Structure 1
Amino acid sequence: MLVRNRFLAALAALALGATVLATPAHAAVSRAELALRWAPIHHQDVDATGSHALGGRSDYLTAIDFDGNLDGRDNWDRAATAALPAHAYYSVVETSTHWYLTYLFFHPRDWTDHPFFETEHENDGEGVLLAIERDGSTYGVLRGAVTVAHSDFYSYTPAGSTWTSGRESVDGTLQLQASPHDAFTHPVTAQEAQGHGLKAFPQYAINCDGLIHYPSTVAEEPAGGNDRDVRYKVVDIFAAGGLWAQRANASLFASLGTFAGDTSGGCGSGTWGCSANSANAPWGWDDGNDLPGRGELASDPAKLVAEYFTIPGGVSRAYTYNPYADAAAALKEAARTAPPTVD
């Protein structure tokens, strides 16, 4: 009997061990999950005045291939007729201490209804960098943000952040808000109408009509210019065949990091003018008055945040994942020789 009991106990132990071995360890969060979790709740002011506004549709954010192609020189024209479902593009760059998430919000038109002193251009790309400390929790903790408003960068920290002003002064507090579409609080960003400069909410705010976008895996087109619940789809810049893979596509880019755009379709009509090739992807963003070089907000974000903020303990500058680094030399050479853009 004693032998039989020991045999049964051994079988039970083996069964228990098999059960434990069959239960997988908790998987690390994917980059897609990380980008979706931290993607901003995004306010977009809308102006419906003037023929270039398309009744407000010119302020809808959308996919770069919203018209079914990757030709950057027909987007101004086709914005009048094509559907404009909401999208945003993200990239994730990693070090041992931080995740850096860059988000690009794209509009087919940078437009104006003023007849003097302001220019228009085809395509518009502005966005935000979020710095997430890897503190051992699943999604980390948000420490700071830098936004792109035309040719200037603005820095922000959320309440309670350990980061403070560095070489650049912190420009305000980054608010967080709960989303009705998931269980998380998200940073809140906002873009102005027409020129689409991007800052932390409420430094830009909806004046009358406007859209409020929530991150999602689906893309919704606004029901109109005053829709306060629009889901936008987050899309990986580094996806196979995605935006980064298209960086040498001459139909989409006039040069490295600069979208191709021409003056057709009425751009500049009744205004000061229309400029060509004037919008930038993240690896072309630049604040010429600040130390980090062109594109480094996306390609070398650890360098940028070390300049913009005072960070207790500092940050690692050794990247464990950074596809932008594969073209670092080309980016630096392009930054050295590139003409200035107006976005």
Structure 2
Amino acid sequence: MFNKFTFSLRSTALLSLVLFAVTACSDSEFQRIEETAADAQGSAAAVEANLALRWAPVHYQDTDVTGTYSLTGKSDYITAINFDGDWNATNNWNNTANAAAAAHCYYSVVETSTHWFIVYAFFHPRDWSDNPFEYYLGQHENDLEGVLTCIQKDGSTYGKLVAAVTVAHSDFYSFLPAGGSVQANQEDVDGTLSFENYNGEAHPVTAQEAKGHGLKANPYYKINGDGIGYYPSLTVAEVPSNANDRDVKYKLVNIFEAGGLWDQRFNTALFNGTDGGGSFKSSFGSGGANAPWAWDDGNDLPGWGELATNPARLIDVYYKNLGNFDLNYSNNRYRGISTSGVIAQNN
């Protein structure tokens, strides 16, 4: 018998079927969208990794095997920030002696329509001294210093490196390749950036001093006696066999990888404060170190952290004759801009 109740049941059933079909279709669409987004992110990450590998420095680390805190040179080895298995900054000084110092380098890629800006950062658990009068005031736990490279998009796959700015303690230093058109602007050029052939490509050459680990282009810092020669890899992180090992691979690690350094910026076991300021905690000595988004040269015009977070402005301040130079970012995850140009979530 057909009645209002029967009609209501049939209508409800039909509506349920329609809603189910729509929901099923929507879930499928959402899955495809998520898969497409994941594929795009994976592809973008692979592009960034290959770009970072192409311009990653051949890196020379001077070592000092003497002194109370040198650990026969191990205190000068580069390694991962979580080399000891955790993201706790206040046990790194003590754990340096026992944990393996597998070589790592942190990188980030920021992009405009005309240039890529790649930061490379090298970590040491100890910034140390063999001067007995500096056992406290001249040392501190955790040390992260590095280099910003400016890559011009010239139509080739990986572009052309046109400038570099390095971080040595609380100062920035400017270096240019020989024969280029780029010139000093509001900051002096401190030297010529040299290159070394590795795997068939010319890589910039950087170096860090022993103990304090300031970083400049080689040979403005260089190996004096014992030292480590580090070479870039996307997959291999080697441990030096001794303090004079000249062939050690370091692994490139994206700052923005899931669970990585950028995601740790609110970790109060790693950084001071809860605002993502980027100042490492320290349980030993005086002073401290900063993440790239907190690097600063107080005597220079670019602001706090801009070497990483606003590199186009910093390069524009440091140099002139840059040619076509866009200051607008298409990819800058420090500012929440993804490679697709949309605003990405900051965790």
TM-score higher than 0.5 here? yes
Q: Which residue of 2 aligns with 1:249?
A: 267
Query: Deviations for 1:176-229, whole angstroms, at most 9, x for unmatched residues?
Result: 1011xx221100000000000000000011111000100012000000000000
Equivalent position to 1:294, from 280, 292, 304 = 304
Contact (CA 8 Å) 2:114, 2:324: kept in 1 or not?
no
Q: Which residue of 2 aligns with 1:196?
A: 213
Matches within 5 A, 1:163-182: 163-179=182-198, 182=199
Equivalent position to 1:121, from 133, 136, 140 = 140
Q: Distance in 1 between matches of 2:300 and 2:324?
A: 20
| 1:304 alignment partner, SS class | helix
Query: Deviations for 1:106-161, whole angstroms, at most 9, x for unmatched residues?
Result: 00000001122551000000000000001110000000000000000000011222
Q: Which residue of 2 aligns with 1:334?
A: none
Structure with bigger helix share is 2
TM-score, normalized by length of structure 2? 0.81
Equivalent position to 2:169, from 150, 174, 182 = 150
Query: Deviations for 1:55-106, whole angstroms, at most 9, x for unmatched residues?
Result: 1000000000100001000000000110000000000000000000000100
Equivalent position to 1:111, from 128, 140, 162 = 128
TM-score, normalized by length of structure 1? 0.82
Matches within 5 A, 1:170-319: 170-179=189-198, 182-217=199-234, 218-255=236-273, 256-263=277-284, 274-275=285-286, 278-319=288-329
Q: Distance in 2 between matches of 1:95 and 1:308?
A: 17
Contact (CA 8 Å) 1:105, 1:127: kept in 2 or not?
yes
- Superposed displacement of residue 326, structure 1: 3.0
The code of the aligned residue for 1:220 comes to E
Contact (CA 8 Å) 1:90, 1:101: kept in 2 or not?
yes
Overall identity of the aligned pairs, in %:
58
| 2:257 alignment partner, SS class | coil
The unaligned stretches of length 5 or more in structure 2 are 1-42, 338-347
Q: Distance in 1 between matches of 2:117 and 2:335?
A: 14
Q: Distance in 2 between matches of 1:162 and 1:81?
A: 48
Runs of 4+ in structure 1 deviating by more than 6 angstroms, as ranges, are none
Equivalent position to 2:54, from 9, 14, 37 = 37
Q: CA RMSD, aligned part only?
A: 1.4
Equivalent position to 1:81, from 95, 98, 119 = 98
Q: Distance in 1 between matches of 2:187 and 2:169?
A: 17
The code of the aligned residue for 1:261 comes to S
Matches within 5 A, 1:4-153: 30-116=47-133, 119-153=138-172
Query: Deviations for 1:242-278, whole angstroms, at most 9, x for unmatched residues?
Result: 1001110111111411111112xxxxxxxxxx115x1
Contact (CA 8 Å) 2:146, 2:215: kept in 1 or not?
yes
The code of the aligned residue for 2:247 comes to D
- Superposed displacement of residue 314, structure 1: 4.9
Contact (CA 8 Å) 1:144, 1:161: kept in 2 or not?
no
Contact (CA 8 Å) 1:98, 1:315: kept in 2 or not?
yes
CA change 1:77–1:212 in 2 (3 A) is same
The count of residues paired between Structure 1 and Structure 2 equals 288
Q: Distance in 2 between matches of 1:161 and 1:253?
A: 40
The unaligned stretches of length 5 or more in structure 1 are 1-26, 264-273, 328-343
Q: Distance in 1 between matches of 2:272 and 2:143?
A: 14
Contact (CA 8 Å) 1:259, 1:281: kept in 2 or not?
yes
